[in-house]
Each structure stands twice: as C-alpha cells, then as structure tokens.
Structure 1
C-alpha cells in the first residue's frame, strides 16, 4: 500500500458579467463619436491601431486593401476571432456580410467591445506559511 499525497493549488477563476451578445449594436457609432470620426476620416490608421490593441500585427488590416475579392478577409477573421474569444453568439455568414458592407461600423463595434471587456488582472501576493 502506497501513501500518495495529492496537493491541489488554488486556481484563479474568472467570473464574467458579460453576456454572449455584443455589448453594442453595429450602428451604435454615436456611443463614441470621437472614435467614429477617427474611423471615418482615417480608416486605415484606425484599423491598424485596433488590430494592435487586439494583439495582432499592427499592419495586418492593410492586407484587406491588397486582397483581390470583395470580402475583406482580415476584418472578417478578426471579428470571428473576437466572437470566439469573448463567447459572443453569431455566425461566420453574418460576420462576412457585416465585414463586407459595414466595415467601418464593424471596426467601431469591435473597439467598443474591447473597451467594455477589458479585464485588468491584478496578482495579489499572499503571505507564505
């Protein structure tokens, strides 16, 4: 008979008050007028900054310009990735349609979502026993 001691360290848990829906609608650009104006007047700069804030390469959204088709693959993939990361319901078909026909609104919505769901993590040191 062997004596086995199992020690389990406490694991951090994350409780989210967010739902499985977008925090704002696609046309809620007036919720943040300065950001909406920035997206309208300098869309390329705006998308690059938002991609960096999301953790992607700064210039990644510029590839949408050079892709030959009508569907912007980078915008669609970042939107889909964000839905998966935050547990937001939706479909790739919906992401495709919105990314194709409402690209500035999509980027503004993603920016608002990142701001709303920004989780600041604080590590607290406990005293050693």
Structure 2
C-alpha cells in the first residue's frame, strides 16, 4: 500500500517491534510507524469554498420588471440576446446570440447554452451560485433565470435596450445613471 522507507529512515519492521503480527484481516498500524517523507499526513485547515455576493433580486421576482417578464415568456431569445451581448462585452451581437438561442430552443438545448452565460455573468460580478447550480436553474426555471440575469445587469447600470457599444458611449461621456434603490429599501 505504501512504499517502504529504507531501513536507515526508521521504517516499520515486524522484527523491530516484537515479531510478526498475527493475521486478523485488519491492517496493523503501530502508533510509532514511520512513513516515507511523501506520505506524512499534514494537518491543513479546511477552507470553505468562496461564496460570492448575493443577486440583487430573487429568482422568482420576475414581476419586478413586468415588461421584461412578458417579453421573456413569449420570446426568450430577445432577453437572452441582450444578456449575451452585455456579458460578452460587445464581442458578439444581440441578434446573433438570440438567433442561436432560438434555434437551440427547437432542440431543447437552449437551457444548456444559456446556463453558460449565467456562469459567465456570475464570474464577472462575483455572484453566488444560488439557489442551486447554474444548469439546474436554467433547466428548471429558464424564463425566471433569464429575467433575473436581465434585472441584475439593469441594476448594475446597463440600459439593456441599447446594447454594449451605446452603454460604453454613455459611460465615456459620464452620463451613467446609478441604479435606483427600491422604495422599500433603506441604507
């Protein structure tokens, strides 16, 4: 099981510890057994996985933005295209990603495609993987997940209707508007 250490490094031998150990089916490990240097167990503290920041809105708060909720229910490829353009930082267009999503919708694989973008969004903004893993969220609640991602980007100051380039133009001119705080929230 473990490579034996040379005799000069204090390896365990039955002769050195009072003769052979009777066979019992249970490994015999005397308290003073020495292992080769690479096999010494170290006490390392357990590090819990890093938990990101919470989402700005919940998964089931679709009615917080009723217009987006209706659009996403009837044509999720539009919402997905808008999300993908912002997440990709303008490298791909809203129309191209929305078209791919729409074509994948006929095969049933659109949720797997969109879960990739949820993961990418979470990585960009250090968001927690909640309420469960990204693919499961998109598989079980596709429209709710898209609405939540849309609202998250909107809360971060993006105007989802104008695309990446126009948003960057606004930021460069200093015309960004900080996200508004809901009526019931206080500092």
TM-score bin (small chain): 0.5 to 0.7
- In 2, the alpha carbon distance for the partners of 1:71 and 1:123 equals 37
Looking at both structures, which has the greater relative contact order when contacts are Cα pairs under 8 Å and sequence separation is at least 6? 1
Matched-pair contact (CA < 8 Å) for 2:84–2:97: yes
**Structure 1 residues 42 and 123, CA gap change in structure 2 (3 angstroms):** closer
SS in 2 for 1:24: coil
Larger Rg: 2
Structure 1 ranges of 4+ moved more than 4 A: 67-71, 119-124
Contact 1:48 1:60 survives alignment (8 Å): yes
1:66 maps to 104
Normalising by structure 1, we get a TM-score of 0.66
How far 1:33 moved relative to its partner? 0.5
Residue 70 of structure 1: CA displacement? 4.8
Q: Confirm or deny that 1:52 pairs with 2:89.
A: no
The Cα RMSD (Å) is 2.9
- Structure 1 residues not aligned, in runs of 5+: 1-18, 125-129
Cross-structure match for 1:36 = 69
The alignment of Structure 1 onto Structure 2 pairs a total of residues equal to: 105
Question: What is the match of residue 116 of structure 1?
Answer: 155
Task: Name the structure 1 match of 2:144.
Answer: 105
1:21 CA displacement: 0.8
Q: Which residue of 1 aligns with 2:163?
A: none
Deviations 1:48-94 (A, max 9, x none): 23322333522224434438565733211110001010011227x61
